[in-house]
Each structure stands twice: as structure tokens, then as C-alpha cells.
RNA sequence: GCGGGGGUUGCCGAGCCAGGAAAAGGCGCGGGGCUUAAGACCCCGUCCCGAAGGGGUCCGCGGGUUCAAAUCCCGCCCCCCGCACCA
């Protein structure tokens, strides 16, 4: 086999060189219709591998197919190097990181002495782009290499700057802040591959709701309660702290009571934090805090009581009619005035008096209680207790009620904890009134130490409430809203009125950086964002999506969802290779954000590489004109320093090639690159230049294992081609899987495929130069079958189903050819021209080589075979089917006879053909029966007729063609073949066939009697 | 949790959207041919039963619709992928 691969490699090199010399893949505008296909340019922090190979080969097969279908195809390629990984790699190589050296020598096949010199990003880019180009040429892609570029090229940077100015002008770039995973030690955001632990963790935003206490010494103290369910603020009965050390800290001017951990974390979240002193939470247990929201909602019930505390305050509040406004005023008095203190005093009095007023006051003012389940390393370390809806809260509270010694120890007044849960959510279609209580009881939870059960209960309650929960009257103006919709609304409202905040926290812990430091969530401020949440932008993209072709089609839904989900994206970074934001040079444009409309750059790249267009020519006026048609050639010429003619030429070429007809990509890029690709085209270009189609394909694994660039295993494209040949590699990867399902690279299967290709190669070589003979029945069968292969292949290629295409064009034709030869066909040459063309997009080198045995044109430029219906010969196909079936049946029967020698054949009685003829004109069994029974002759034998008809309708397809065939003739004509294949003598003498067998014969299934 | 895709005969993998074959193809395994022999190649078999081309059971689990379901409907279980600022 190695010999064959070596021979292949020589053939491949030869034709690659011929193609290059003849420049057949260099595409310039002409009168043909154009087809512009692009593939995402690869990121060069390593060698191209067989995963790239899949996406690229699909692209190349389509490019070659379309070219042969008469399109002027543009298939360009560039290289992506902006971003951080290349810098990271250079650093690792520079410091001789062992693991990196191992992976790059072992898997990326970089010779060690070369690798060790790659200590700067520039050297890495230089080396890997050369290697990539070699690999892409080695496999014979039909790329127009005049257009290659790298994303750090100066002209490219001009192009990106132009794009960003455009987006800025359109108001699509905004400033904002956002949370990132951050390492305090490295003082940098931490990327996925720099994590030691916690890769699964996501950043969640807790809503912080501030409750207020009052202290003689420090004044107001804020108890910032963190929750994922802000709506539960309406059902707070107390707050929980863990009986351990906390801190009092000045946070943006207010005094906050938070866990020590939280005081550290807050510093990274845009907060100014000054720790005043460490405190023991026990000191605060039993003290009271004011819930400003409830105070605002219930103020009218206690307004009169305020009069004696503060008359002016009373005046101010009682004047306000509007409920919402009053709530805001109350909150304001708590936050900025001394209403909190008054309410706490009022609570004391109401408690002494008891009664209804106390019931009201205890909703506004709640006690601080101790609980062991509180995690000080989660958010602020202070939580609200909502026993109606949180099993932990309910159980902890019940726990506390039972434990007098704890109450004594903390000096908690028992009357403070005689608390009833306050329900605020109704669950649609469920019996629960106070879910946390009922579910806890159902599960038999007794103590807050039963964490497993409590977690389970919490899950049940949260799930039901989230999906089917509706807010009750207790939530004031939010009543009637769905729980699933409330979070964002309420968080926003709380922040707006001044008692809410956001605390970012990891969903799982710990999250540890490679350096060993625990990561925190940091809020980056004043970052530039692409405003993908912009509703007009979004809806334009959504509308255009409906016009597009997405392959496979169910990905359209996926795209729809992802477009909806896409939020503003930070497009600026501090570190990495790339282009600076033109109006804020501190920042680099993030590397996915500079790869959105670069397909347009391929048109410019040709001129740049020819030296006709330089970075300094690429002025905004020039780009405006050639890419958008804004302004005119004169102005563009003046501004750029290019002559008008060149400017016009570039403009014309752009207009010829754009838009992108197909972008074929790996499925991993759907949620990022492909979305941005759509958004940016739609933002920048006029509608006629928006992308037409996107196709996605799956990954490639290695002997069932996932490949990894940074850890291995990995198979480079170059090695795959060197070991197996370009055409073998191509055919394998195209046939290994379809669409988004993943392909597995298996050495054994690849080798077996090489065997198939060798057979094919030898077969064609043997038959191709033979004289054409006149067509006989068998040749017509072959041609007929071949037409179906053509149709199937074309159909599959139109849908980018390379697996189906290869199956039809290669394997199925191969099977037919095998049968054809076995049947003694020796006119194979009649399909060979077309067969080679049919296969040329998949295995271009072999096809080119074989084609040249007879022709001196390039097969790569020939026209693709057309389906020719006149060559379809159903009868010839029926005859072959008959022969095959006959052989199978005879063999089946021969199994039961030792040493079979003679086979006697009897054909079906005449009446059966008659019945069949009538039946074939009817649609149903019933109809056929009634029609047939009109004939007296059949009526006499109704039983037999009905039994036969049943069979006929069971096997309709076979019987459908039978009345056209003369069975006796077929067997007689092929007697020699049949006897040779079956190794018996076949005698068409029905007198030797027993009666019962003869009667069971049917058209298409003669009676067979074997004699030993 | 949300969204998308899946669970097919020893394995890989078609088919299911447009219901009607023990269910393509490949691999593995077994047998035969060819060959001095091995490999390659060609043919046959590979769920169970059957000494005549036949019968039975089968496509995650449980129901339903239908003359007929791997294919349609309902419920359940399980698996994979994405959830971002990273290419």
C-alpha cells in the first residue's frame, strides 16, 4: 500500500504544479456567473490539523464542484493571528515550558531546533503561516493564492480601523462595564486555558438588597442581602448571618456589614471599600434591620405614628398621593435620613403593644438571626430569610425555635422569632400554598443539617416557582407577574430607587488561576462594546436570516436563538496582537471582533499583494468608495493617491464578487464568529451585499478521542497527507460524516479507503484507453445506473452533503462496476469520462492524472456531468434485478440439497400474468379483486387468485415491472453466466418440477427444483 | 436552568421530515474461491428457528394513532454540544 501512496504523492505533486503554472484557480471577473465561497481563516498558534482539514476540504469540494458547474469561483484564504494565544505561546517557548515543547514537537510536528527559535509572536506567525500554506497546497485546494494575507498586515489594520469608524458613526459601539474572571495575582483576566480549577463556573449576578440598621456610634449600617431571587424581598421575615467574624466597611460612603471575603471581592467590583474594623456577627444577632421596600409599601398604615417622632417627616410623606412616589420617598428617607431609626423605635413600641400594628411592623422591621448554613464566601455573606419559599430558611427558623439555649446564648427575644412565613408566589396548577413549608414537610426534613434533603427541596421549590410561579398581592405592583420574568425588572427597579446593587459571583467554587491564586470577578469599566443588543440591529439580522440558506436547515433555529441571546460584546482588550481602536489607542480590537467582514478584504488583497495598493492608499474616502460606493472615484483617487482607473477597477471587482455566496465553517463558530459575521455585514454593507448562505460542519476526532491543540492528541493535516496521500485524505474526510455530526479519523479505515482508491485507479487505467464498443443491454444498464449516480451526487452537493455525494459518486458506482464486470461487461469506457468528472471535486489529483491518459485539458475545468434522462433504462435495470433475484433464490434453495447438480426451472402459469396486468392498473387490493372477478375464468379459481394478489400487493415494486420482462428469454440469454456463477446446470423444463412447486411460481419468481 | 442535537442489529453509521424490507454501507468475525503460501482481491454468511426460496423477534423505556411504525402523537429515562468576550 505504501507503494501506492508514494505513487499518489508523485501524481499529486505533479498536478499541483501544473495547476499552479496554468494559474487555473486564480479568479478574476469575467462574463460567467460568480460564486464566492469562504472558509474561516485559521488561527495560527499551531499547525493545521485534520479538523481544519474537514472544513477546508468541504469548501474545496464545493468550490471545485461549482467551478465545474460553470461558475467563476473565488476561493481565497487568509491567516488569523490577532489576539493573545500566539503571544502566550511565544512566552511559553521562550521560557522553555516543557509541556509546550513536548506538545509542539510530538503533535504539531515542529522540529525541536526550529521550535526553540520561535520565541516572539512575529516568528511564530512567520513560521506557522509558511507551514499552513505548504499544508494547504499539499492537499491540492483550489485556492487563489494571490489573495492571502495575515491579520497583522498594515493594510488590514487600515481596513479594520475603517470598519470601526463606520460602526462608531452608526452608534453601534458603546461604552460600558462588564464582569470578567480575574486573577488578583496576575492582575489580568483569566482565560479558560489558564485555569487550574473551576472551568465549569460561570459568572452569576446576585441582586443585593440593602436592609438598614441603626447604631449609636456608626449611624446607619447597611446589611446587603444577596439573592438570586429578588422578588423574595416581599416575604422577608428576618436575615441570616453566620455566627463568625464579619467586617464593617465603608463601601462607597455607606457602612456595610459584610463577610471578610466579600469586602475583598467588592474591591474588584467598582466599589470603594475601606474596612473599618472586624466584628463578631454575634454582636449583631438579635438586632433589627429595616426592609425599605416593605416600609415604603406599608407606610400608609403607620403614617400617623410617625407624627410624634418627626413632624416634618410626617408632613412630607403624607402629602404624597401616588403610591410609587411615596415608596420612593420612604426609601429615600431611610437611605438618606433617619427613618430607619424611627422605624426601629416604632417596632419596639408596637412589640410591647402587640396586636395588628405589631404584625405590620414586623414585616417592615426584621431581626438578624444566626444560621450555620450561611456561606460567608458566597456573595456578601448576608442573606434574607424567606421561609415561605426557601426550605433552608424555613427549616433554620424552626430549628431555632426549638433551641432555647441558643436563644439565650445570643440574647434573642423569643417573640422576635415567632414568625409566620409570608407567601408571595402562587404556583399555577399546584396545591402548594407555602411551598417551602409543604415541601420540607413532605420530605420529612427536621434540621438544617440535612443538607442533601434541603438541596433537593430547594430545587423542587425553585423549579416549580420559576416555571409556573405568579406573584401574589403581597408583592404590590408586581402582583400578577411571572416569576420567570421578574428578576431583571426588579433588579433594575431596586437599583434605581437606591436600595439595590449587583454582586457578581462564580456559580461554582473554587475558581483557581494557573498561578495558584483564587480568581475573583472583576468589573472592567469604560470598556468599548459592540452594541449587539441594539433592537434595530438585531431585528434586521433576524429578518435577513430568514432570507438566507442555512445548512443543515435546523441550524436556522439555532441561529435565531443565538441572535436573540446575543448581548453587547466587549470588543476591546489591553493585551494581544491586533489593531488599536482608532479613537482610543489604549485599547486593541478584540480578535473575534476584527474578523467579521474580512471577506471583503480578499478583493483588496489581490491588489495589495501585486503592490498596486498600499496601506497609505487605504484612506477612509477610498474604502468608502470601493466597498460602499459612497462618494466618487475622483475623490477616492485624490484622497488615496491612486489613479482613478485603479480605484474604479477595485470597485468593479468588489461589485463583481460580493456578496459572499457561501460561508462554510465548523459548528464551534456558530455562537460567535458566524453571528458577528452576520451582524457586521448587515451593519456596514447595503442589503445586496449581505451573505447568502452559511453551512456548518462537525469536528474530527482521532480514534474516538477529542483532539486538542494545546494538549494533544492531534494529527496535522500535513502528516495525514504525507502518510496517506491528498486524495485519500480528502475522500476519507468528506465521507467520514455528514453535516454537524462528528467524524472520527481511524487509521485502519483510512488505509482501507486507500485500498479502494487503488482499485479504482488500476481499474480505470486498465479500461480507459480501450475502444468503445456498441452498447448492449448490460452497457445500457451501467449507463442507466450511472445516470442515477449523477443525479444523486449533484443533489447531494447542492445540499453540501459530501458524505452522500461520495457514497453515490464513488462507492455505489464502484459496486455497479463490480457487478458489471462480473457479468462480463467489457465496455466500461462508456462511463469513464463522466465518472472521472463526477469524482474530480473529491479526488482531483487522481482524476486529473487519469483524464490526461486521453485528454490534454484540465479535468478541473471540465463541465460537471449532467443527469441525462434518455440514458435511464428501467427495463435494463429490471433485467439485472431479475437475474440477481433469481440467483439469490436458487442459492437459497441449493442450501438444502447436498451436492446440487441440476436446477429445473418452471415459470408462473399464464393466468398469473393476466391477473398481474389487471392489478397493475389498479390502486388497491380491493379494486383489483373486484375487477378481476368480473372474469368468469378467475371466479372459478377465486381462492388461488386472492392468495396471489395478496403477494402481489406485498411486493408491488418487484411485480410492477414484471409484465415487460420475458423471463425465459432472460435466463436463456444468460444461461452461461448463471451456470458458472451457481455451479449447477440449469434446465428450463417444467415437466421435471413437482406440481405443488410449479403452482407456487409467480411472475418474477419462477419455481426452482434442485436435484442432487 | 435555557437552547440545539441525539439514543438503530458486535462496533461505526444510514434510514426517520414525505409510515409499508431483519432495516444501506463500512469495520470486525466466520466460510469459500484465487494463490506454493501469506497479503491483496472476488464471492457468501453474520438476531432466533427452519433439510426448499419460509416463519418469528427487533431500532432507549412505556403508552397511543393506523390494516401497517425505527419512522407520526403523548409521557419518561439517558447522552452530547453552546451559554461568551475566548480563538
**DSSP per position, A912-978:** HHHHHHHHHT-SSHHHHHHHHTTSHHHHTTHHHHHHHHHHHHHTHHHHHTGGG--HHHHHHHTHHHH
Query: pLDDT-based confidence at A751, cuts 50/70/90?
Result: confident
- Identify the residues numbered 546 to 605 in chain A whose C-beta atom is closer than 7 Å to any atom of strand B: 554-555, 557-558, 561, 565-571, 573, 576, 590-592
Q: In angstroms, rounded to a whole number, what is the distance separating the alpha carbons of residues A206 and A200?
A: 18
Query: pLDDT-based confidence at A957, cuts 50/70/90?
Result: low
- The pLDDT value given to residue A503: 92
Nucleotide nearest to A44 (CA to C1'): B87
A737 touches strand B (CB under 7 A): yes
- Calculate the alpha carbon distances from A979 to A291, A294, A487, A902, A967 in Å: 98, 98, 81, 10, 16
Q: What secondary structure, in 3-state letters, does A179-243 show?
A: EEEEECCCCEECCHHHEEECCCCCEEEEEEEEEEEEECCCEEEEEEEEECCHHHHHHCCEEEECC
Task: Determine which helix (DSSP H) or strand (DSSP E) holds A163, and give its type and residue range.
Answer: helix A154-169
Nucleotide nearest to A993 (CA to C1'): B52
Q: What is the ipTM of this complex?
A: 0.92
Cα A154 from chain centre:
32
pLDDT in tens, A624-651: 999 999 999 999 999 999 999 999 999 9
A42 touches strand B (CB under 7 A): no
Among the residue ranges A42-51, A138-147, A200-209, the one predicted with the least confidence is A200-209
Length of chain A: 1012
CA of A671 to C1' of B83 (A): 9
Among the residue ranges A36-50, A567-581, A975-989, the one predicted with the least confidence is A975-989
- The pLDDT value given to residue A173: 95
Q: Taking Cα atoms as reference points, which of A830, A708, A683 lies closest to residue A770?
A: A830
Residue with cell 464502484: A814
Please indicate whether residue A710 or residue A142 has the higher confidence score (pLDDT): A142
A904 touches strand B (CB under 7 A): no
CA of A676 to C1' of B24 (A): 40
Phi-psi region of A527 (alpha: psi -120 to 50; beta: other; left: phi over 0): beta
Nucleotide nearest to A529 (CA to C1'): B85
Residue A708 DSSP symbol: -
Task: Determine which helix (DSSP H) or strand (DSSP E) holds A766, and give its type and residue range.
Answer: helix A747-768
Average pLDDT, chain A: 90
Query: pLDDT-based confidence at A956, cuts 50/70/90?
Result: low
A943 touches strand B (CB under 7 A): no
Q: How many CA atoms lie within 13 A of A820 on its CB side?
A: 28
Nucleotide nearest to A593 (CA to C1'): B85
CA of A845 to C1' of B49 (A): 52
Q: Taking Cα atoms as reference points, which of A615, A595, A736 lies closest to residue A674?
A: A595
A923 touches strand B (CB under 7 A): no
A898 touches strand B (CB under 7 A): yes
Is A720:A50 a contact under the CB 8 Å cutoff? yes
Query: pLDDT-based confidence at A483, cuts 50/70/90?
Result: confident
Strand partners, A36: A74
Nucleotide nearest to A890 (CA to C1'): B53
Is A602:A76 a contact under the CB 8 Å cutoff? yes
CA of A676 to C1' of B60 (A): 38
A136 touches strand B (CB under 7 A): no
CA of A459 to C1' of B63 (A): 29
DSSP string, A636-656: HHHHH---HHHHHHHHHHHHH
Q: In angstroms, rounded to a whole number, what is the distance separating the alpha carbons of residues A416 and A369?
A: 10
CA of A199 to C1' of B1 (A): 18
CA of A724 to C1' of B40 (A): 18
CA of A191 to C1' of B72 (A): 47
Please indicate whether residue A193 or residue A322 has the higher confidence score (pLDDT): A322
| Helix orientation angle between A925-932 and A942-954, rounded to the nearest 10 degrees | 150
Residue A523 cell numbers, joined = 468589573
Cα A938 from chain centre:
64
- Identify the residues numbered 305 to 344 in chain A whose C-beta atom is closer than 7 Å to any atom of strand B: none
Is A503:A269 a contact under the CB 8 Å cutoff? yes
Q: Does the structure show a pLDDT above 70 at A961?
A: no
Q: Does the structure show a pLDDT above 90 at A660?
A: yes
A301 touches strand B (CB under 7 A): no
Query: pLDDT-based confidence at A292, cuts 50/70/90?
Result: very high
CA of A883 to C1' of B9 (A): 28
- The pLDDT value given to residue A445: 85
Residue A821 cell numbers, joined = 464486470
Q: Does the structure show a pLDDT above 70 at A600?
A: yes
Q: Does the structure show a pLDDT above 80 at A452?
A: no
Strand partners, A479: none
SS3 at position A831: helix
A668 touches strand B (CB under 7 A): yes
- Calculate the alpha carbon distances from A786 to A775, A792, A802 in Å: 14, 10, 18
Among the residue ranges A54-58, A270-274, A590-594, A884-888, the one predicted with the least confidence is A884-888
Q: Does the structure show a pLDDT above 70 at A953?
A: no
A672 touches strand B (CB under 7 A): yes
Residue A146 cell numbers, joined = 494571490
Residue A519 DSSP symbol: P
- Identify the residues numbered 740 to 779 in chain A whose C-beta atom is closer than 7 Å to any atom of strand B: 740-742, 744, 748-749, 752, 755, 759
pTM for the predicted model, two decimal places: 0.85
Among the residue ranges A167-181, A321-335, A675-689, A911-925, the one predicted with the least confidence is A911-925
Query: pLDDT-based confidence at A194, cuts 50/70/90?
Result: confident
Comparing every residue's Cα with the C1' atom of nucleotide B51, the nearest one is: A896
Nucleotide nearest to A179 (CA to C1'): B85
Backbone phi and psi for residue A181, each to the nearest 5 degrees, phi listed first: -75, 130
Q: What secondary structure, in 3-state letters, does A877-912 show?
A: HHHHHHHHHHHHHHHHHHCCCCCCCEEEEECCCHHH
Nucleotide nearest to A82 (CA to C1'): B87
A656 touches strand B (CB under 7 A): no
Nucleotide nearest to A887 (CA to C1'): B53
Nucleotide nearest to A573 (CA to C1'): B85
Residue A146 DSSP symbol: G
Q: In angstroms, rounded to a whole number, what is the distance separating the alpha carbons of residues A142 and A156?
A: 24
A738 touches strand B (CB under 7 A): yes
A458 touches strand B (CB under 7 A): no
Q: Does the structure show a pLDDT above 90 at A164?
A: yes
- Calculate the alpha carbon distances from A485 to A378, A465, A466, A501 in Å: 24, 11, 9, 19
A997 touches strand B (CB under 7 A): yes
- The pLDDT value given to residue A924: 61
Average pLDDT over residues A119-134: 96
Among the residue ranges A417-426, A535-544, A577-586, the one predicted with the least confidence is A417-426
A671 touches strand B (CB under 7 A): yes
- Identify the residues numbered 186 to 245 in chain A whose C-beta atom is closer than 7 Å to any atom of strand B: 189, 191-192, 202-203
Average pLDDT over residues A187-192: 78
CA of A885 to C1' of B65 (A): 36
CA of A54 to C1' of B67 (A): 47
Q: Taking Cα atoms as reference points, which of A747, A733, A721 lies closest to residue A803?
A: A733
Query: pLDDT-based confidence at A954, cuts 50/70/90?
Result: low
Strand B nucleotides where any atom sits below 7 Å of a protein CB: 1-6, 12-14, 24-28, 40-45, 51-53, 81-87
Is A871:A783 a contact under the CB 8 Å cutoff? yes
Comparing every residue's Cα with the C1' atom of nucleotide B6, the nearest one is: A741
pLDDT in tens, A201-224: 888 889 999 999 988 888 899 999
Query: pLDDT-based confidence at A925, cuts 50/70/90?
Result: low
Q: Does the structure show a pLDDT above 90 at A15?
A: yes
Residues 6+ apart with CB under 8 A from A561: none
CA of A554 to C1' of B76 (A): 25
H and E: helices and strands count for chain A: 43, 30
- The pLDDT value given to residue A959: 67
- The pLDDT value given to residue A154: 96
Nucleotide nearest to A739 (CA to C1'): B5
Q: Does the structure show a pLDDT above 70 at A593?
A: yes
Nucleotide nearest to A43 (CA to C1'): B87
Residue with cell 457514497: A807
Average pLDDT over residues A276-295: 94
Residue with cell 438444502: A896
CA of A983 to C1' of B52 (A): 18
Amino acid at each position: 500500500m505504501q507503494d501506492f501512496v508514494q505513487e499518489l504523492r508523485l501524481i499529486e505533486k505533479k498536478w499541483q504544479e501544473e495547476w499552479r503554472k496554468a494559474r487555473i484557480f486564480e479568479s478574476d471577473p469575467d462574463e460567467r456567473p460568480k460564486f464566492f465561497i469562504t472558509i474561516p481563516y485559521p488561527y495560527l498558534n499551531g499547525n493545521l490539523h485534520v479538523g481544519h482539514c474537514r472544513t477546508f476540504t468541504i469548501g474545496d469540494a464545493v468550490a471545485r464542484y461549482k467551478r465545474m458547474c460553470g461558475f467563476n469561483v473565488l476561493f481565497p484564504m487568509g491567516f488569523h493571528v490577532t489576539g493573545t494565544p500566539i503571544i502566550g505561546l511565544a512566552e511559553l517557548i521562550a521560557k522553555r515550558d516543557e509541556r509546550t515543547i513536548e506538545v509542539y514537537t510530538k503533535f504539531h510536528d515542529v522540529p525541536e531546533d526550529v521550535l526553540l527559535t520561535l520565541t516572539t509572536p512575529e516568528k511564530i506567525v512567520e513560521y506557522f503561516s509558511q507551514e499552513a500554506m505548504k499544508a494547504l497546497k499539499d492537499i491540492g485546494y483550489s485556492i487563489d493564492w494571490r489573495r492571502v494575507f495575515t491579520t497583522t498586515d498594515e493594510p488590514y489594520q487600515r481596513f479594520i480601523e475603517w470598519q470601526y469608524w463606520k460602526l462608531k458613526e452608526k452608534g453601534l459601539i458603546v461604552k460600558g462595564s462588564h464582569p470578567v474572571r480575574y486573577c488578583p495575582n496576575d492582575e489580568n483576566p483569566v482565560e479558560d486555558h489558564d485555569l487550574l480549577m473551576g472551568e465549569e463556573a460561570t459568572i452569576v449576578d446576585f441582586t443585593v438588597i440593602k436592609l438598614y440598621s441603626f447604631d449609636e456610634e456608626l449611624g446607619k449600617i447597611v446589611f446587603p442581602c444577596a439573592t438570586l431571587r429578588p422578588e423574595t424581598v416581599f416575604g422577608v421575615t428576618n436575615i441570616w448571618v453566620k455566627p463568625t467574624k464579619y467586617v464593617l466597611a465603608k463601601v462607597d460612603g455607606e457602612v456595610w456589614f459584610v463577610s471578610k471575603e466579600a469586602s475583598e471581592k467588592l474591591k474588584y467590583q467598582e466599589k470603594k471599600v475601606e474596612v473599618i474594623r472586624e466584628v463578631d456577627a454575634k454582636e449583631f444577632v438579635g438586632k433589627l434591620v429595616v426592609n425599605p421596600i416593605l416600609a415604603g409599601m406599608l407606610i400608609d398604615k403607620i403614617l400617623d405614628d410617625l407624627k410624634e417622632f418627626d413632624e416634618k417627616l410626617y408632613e412630607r410623606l403624607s402629602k404624597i398621593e401616588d403610591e410609587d412616589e411615596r415608596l420612593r420617598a420612604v426609601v429615600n428617607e431611610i437611605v438618606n435620613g433617619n427613618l430607619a431609626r424611627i422605624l426601629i423605635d416604632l417596632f419596639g413600641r408596637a412589640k410591647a403593644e402587640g396586636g395588628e400594628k405589631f404584625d405590620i411592623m414586623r414585616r417592615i422591621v426584621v431581626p438578624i438571626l444566626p444560621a450555620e448554613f450561611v456561606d460567608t464566601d458566597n456573595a456578601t455573606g448576608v442573606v434574607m430569610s424567606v421561609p415561605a419559599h426557601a426550605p433552608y430558611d424555613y427549616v433554620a427558623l424552626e430549628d431555632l425555635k426549638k433551641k432555647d439555649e441558643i436563644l439565650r446564648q445570643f440574647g434573642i427575644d423569643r417573640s422576635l422569632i415567632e414568625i409566620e412565613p409570608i407567601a408571595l408566589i402562587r404556583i399555577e396548577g399546584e396545591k402548594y400554598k407555602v411551598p417551602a413549608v409543604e415541601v420540607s414537610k413532605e420530605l420529612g426534613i427536621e434540621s438544617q443539617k440535612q443538607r442533601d434533603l434541603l438541596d433537593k427541596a430547594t430545587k423542587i421549590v425553585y423549579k416549580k416557582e420559576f416555571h409556573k410561579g405568579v406573584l401574589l398581592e403581597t408583592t404590590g405592583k408586581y402582583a400578577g407577574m411571572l416569576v420567570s420574568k421578574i428578576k431583571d425588572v426588579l433588579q433594575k427597579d431596586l437599583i434605581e430607587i437606591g436600595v439595590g446593587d449587583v454582586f457578581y459571583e462564580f456559580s461554582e467554587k473554587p475558581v483557581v488561576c494557573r498561578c495558584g491564586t483564587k480568581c475573583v470577578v472583576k468589573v472592567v469599566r469604560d470598556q468599548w462594546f459592540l452594541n449587539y443588543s441594539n433592537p434595530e440591529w438585531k431585528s434586521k439580522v433576524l429578518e435577513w436570516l430568514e432570507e438566507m440558506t442555512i445548512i443543515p436547515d435546523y441550524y436556522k433555529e439555532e441561529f435565531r436563538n443565538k441572535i436573540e441571546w446575543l448581548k453587547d460584546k466587549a470588543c476591546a482588550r489591553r493585551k494581544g496582537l491586533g489593531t488599536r481602536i482608532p479613537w482610543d489607542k489604549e485599547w486593541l480590537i478584540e480578535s473575534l471582533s476584527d474578523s467579521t467582514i474580512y471577506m471583503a478584504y480578499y478583493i483588496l488583497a489581490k491588489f495589495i499583494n501585486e503592490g498596486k495598493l498600499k496601506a497609505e492608499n487605504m484612506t477612509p474616502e477610498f474604502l468608502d468608495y470601493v466597498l460602499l460606493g459612497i462618494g466618487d472615484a475622483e475623490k477616492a483617487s485624490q484622497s488615496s493617491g491612486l489613479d482613478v482607473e485603479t480605484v474604479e477597477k477595485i470597485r468593479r471587482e468588489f461589485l463583481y464578487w460580493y456578496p459572499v455566496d457561501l460561508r462554510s465553517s465548523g459548528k464551534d463558530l456558530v455562537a460567535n464568529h458566524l453571528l458577528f459575521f452576520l451582524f457586521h455585514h448587515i451593519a456596514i454593507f447595503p442589503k445586496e451585499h449581505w451573505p447568502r448562505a452559511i453551512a456548518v460542519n462537525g469536528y474530527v476526532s482521532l480514534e474516538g478521542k477529542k483532539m486538542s491543540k494545546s494538549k494533544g492528541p492531534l494529527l496535522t493535516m500535513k502528516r495525514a497527507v504525507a502518510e496517506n496521500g491528498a486524495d485519500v485524505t480528502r475522500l476519507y474526510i468528506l465521507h467520514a460524516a455528514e453535516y454537524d455530526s462528528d467524524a472520527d479519523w481511524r487509521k485502519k479505515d483510512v488505509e482501507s479507503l486507500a485500498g479502494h482508491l487503488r482499485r479504482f485507479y488500476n481499474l480505470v487505467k486498465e479500461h480507459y484507453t480501450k475502444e468503445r464498443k456498441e452498447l448492449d443491454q448490460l452497457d445500457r444498464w451501467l449507463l442507466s445506473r450511472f445516470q442515477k449516480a449523477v443525479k444523486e451526487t449533484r443533489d447531494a452537493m447542492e445540499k453540501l452533503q459530501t458524505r452522500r455525494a461520495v457514497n453515490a459518486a464513488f462507492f455505489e458506482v464502484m459496486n455497479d462496476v463490480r457487478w458489471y464486470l462480473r457479468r462480463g461487461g467489457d465496455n466500461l469506457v462508456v462511463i469513464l469520462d463522466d465518472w472521472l468528472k463526477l469524482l474530480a471535486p473529491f479526488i482531483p489529483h487522481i482524476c486529473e492524472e487519469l483524464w490526461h491518459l486521453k485528454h490534454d485539458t484540465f479535468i478541473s475545468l471540465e463541465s460537471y456531468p449532467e443527469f441525462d434522462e434518455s440514458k435511464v433504462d428501467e427495463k435494463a435495470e429490471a433485467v439485472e434485478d431479475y437475474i440477481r433475484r433469481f440467483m439469490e433464490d436458487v442459492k437459497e434453495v441449493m442450501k438444502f440439497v447436498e451436492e446440487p447438480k441440476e436446477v429445473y426451472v418452471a415459470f408462473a402459469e399464464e393466468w398469473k400474468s393476466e391477473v398481474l396486468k389487471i392489478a397493475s392498473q389498479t390502486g388497491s387490493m380491493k379494486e383489483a379483486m373486484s375487477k378481476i372477478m368480473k372474469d368468469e375464468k378467475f371466479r372459478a379459481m377465486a381462492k388461488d387468485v386472492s392468495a396471489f394478489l395478496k403477494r402481489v400487493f406485498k411486493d408491488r415494486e418487484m411485480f410492477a415491472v414484471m409484465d415487460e420482462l420475458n423471463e425465459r428469454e432472460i435466463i436463456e440469454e444468460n444461461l452461461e453466466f448463471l451456470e458458472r456463477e451457481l455451479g449447477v446446470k440449469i434446465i428450463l423444463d417444467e415437466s421435471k418440477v413437482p406440481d405443488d412447486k410449479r403452482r407456487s411460481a409467480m411472475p418474477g419468481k419462477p419455481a426452482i427444483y434442485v436435484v442432487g
